[in-house]
Amino acid sequence: MKAINKTWSVLLVAILMALALIGCGGEEGAPKETTPQAAQEQGQTNEAPADSGEELKTTYPLTVKDSTGVEMTFDKAPAKIASLTPSETEKLFALGLDEEIVGVSDNDDYPEAAKSKPKLGGFQVNKEAIIAADADVVFAASMNAQNAEKLRELGVTLFVNDPKTIDAVMENIELIGQITDRQADAKAVVDQMKQELASVTEAVKSVKDEDKKKVYVEFSPGWTVGKGEFMDEIITAAGGVNAAGDTEGWFEISEEKIIAANPDVILYTDDVVDEATKKTLDQLIKERGGWDQIEAIKNDQVIAVDANLLSRPGPRVTQGLIEVAKAVYPELMNP
C-alpha cells in the first residue's frame, strides 16, 4: 500500500531500497533519515580545548571522524555548508548557520528559511547540484560507507552522522558545533534538549515497571520500529514499553503479532494518507481485522504524533519525546 507522506514515504522507500543509486544518472543511494543499518561509533580524534572564558571557540586544525569511520581535518571553520537530509539541516539552522548554508535536500521543510535554500535532490540526490554548490563540507544522515565513498570520489567533503540515541544526537550537535566554530550555540541547543529530556524523566519516574504502558508506533502503513533505533529509546524514555521491541530496526509488521502484543497505546504519524482510499493512517489501523480487540483501540488510545518531531534525530527530538510522553501518560505530563 502506498502512502502520501512527506517524511515517512521517503523513509519507507529508503528502507526498501537502501542501496538505490544517486543523482540524475542513478549512481548512488540518497541518505535516509533513519535506516536499519548499524552505525559505526562516531567521535573526534582531536578535541577542541576546554573553555577558558565565556566564549567557546574551536582550535584548528580539527580532526574528526564520522559514522562511516572516515577521518577528516578542518583547517578553519567551513564558510560554505550543505545538507542532504532534514535532520542535519535542522541542526545547522539551530546553530545559527543560515548564511553559510548553500544547499539542502528537497525534503527540508523546517525551519521556514530552509525552503528557500538551493535544492540538492531528495531520495535521489542530485550529484551535479552538490558539486556545483562547492560546499566546504556536506552533512548527511545514515548514508552507508560505500555510497558515501562514491560521493567522496567526486571531490565532496562528506560528513555522515547516524545517531541511534538521544545522547548521541546531542553529542553530534556538539561535534558539528566544533567543526563550524559554533560551540556556544551548540551548548545552548544541547542544554535546552537536556532540560526537555529531564522534564520527561522527572514526570514519568513514578511509573513502576509493572505499570508501564505497552506502546506501538506505526509511521507508514504496516511499518514500525524495534530496538536499536532512537525512536525505540524515545518510547522507553517516555516511560513506555515498545510493543515491537523484540525485533531489531525498522520492519514490516505481522498484524497477528501486534494483536497478541495488545498495546495500551497506538501512536501514528499525522501526515500519512492512503493514496487509493484517501484514508488516514489511524483509519487504516482501526479497520484491520481483529484489531478491534486491542486495548488501545477499545479504549480510544490511537493518537497522532507529529511525524517530523518523531522521525528526525535532530535538535527537536526531545520535543518529540515530550509529545510521546503526553500521549502515553497525559495525566503525568499535563497535571
- Residue ending a domain, among 150, 170, 195, is 195
Residue 258 grid coordinates: 501486534
Both 248 and 168 in a single domain? no
pLDDT tens digits for 206-264? 999 999 999 999 988 999 999 988 899 999 999 999 999 999 988 999 999 999 999 99
Domain for residue 252, yes or no?
yes
Q: How far is 178 from 103, CA to CA, in rounded Å?
A: 20
Number of domains making up the chain: 2
Domain for residue 10, yes or no?
no
- Inform me whether the pLDDT recorded for 199 exceeds 70: yes
- Residue ending a domain, among 195, 227, 261, is 195
What does the pLDDT read at residue 335? 62
- Inform me whether the pLDDT recorded for 284 exceeds 60: yes
Both 235 and 118 in a single domain? no
- CA-nearest of 157, 154, 117, 161 to 135 is 157
Q: Which pTM value belongs to this model?
A: 0.83
Q: How far is 123 from 222, CA to CA, in rounded Å?
A: 21
- Residue ending a domain, among 171, 195, 219, is 195
Both 175 and 128 in a single domain? yes
Both 292 and 228 in a single domain? yes
Both 168 and 66 in a single domain? yes
Q: What is the average per-residue pLDDT within 150-171?
A: 94
The residue range of the domain holding 315 is: 206-328
Domain for residue 36, yes or no?
no
Q: What is the CATH number of the domain that holds 98?
A: 3.40.50.1980
Both 133 and 258 in a single domain? no
Domain for residue 72, yes or no?
yes
Both 222 and 189 in a single domain? no
pLDDT tens digits for 289-332? 999 999 999 999 999 999 899 889 999 999 999 999 999 999 99
Both 179 and 269 in a single domain? no
What does the pLDDT read at residue 1? 41
Both 72 and 157 in a single domain? yes
Q: What is the average per-residue pLDDT within 45-50?
A: 43
Average the pLDDT over each of 62-76, 201-215, 269-283 and give the range with the smallest value: 269-283
Domain for residue 17, yes or no?
no
Question: b/e for 265-275, b at 16 or more Cβ within 10 A?
Answer: bbbbbbbbebe
- CA-nearest of 46, 38, 44, 35 to 13 is 35
Domain for residue 34, yes or no?
no
Domain for residue 55, yes or no?
no
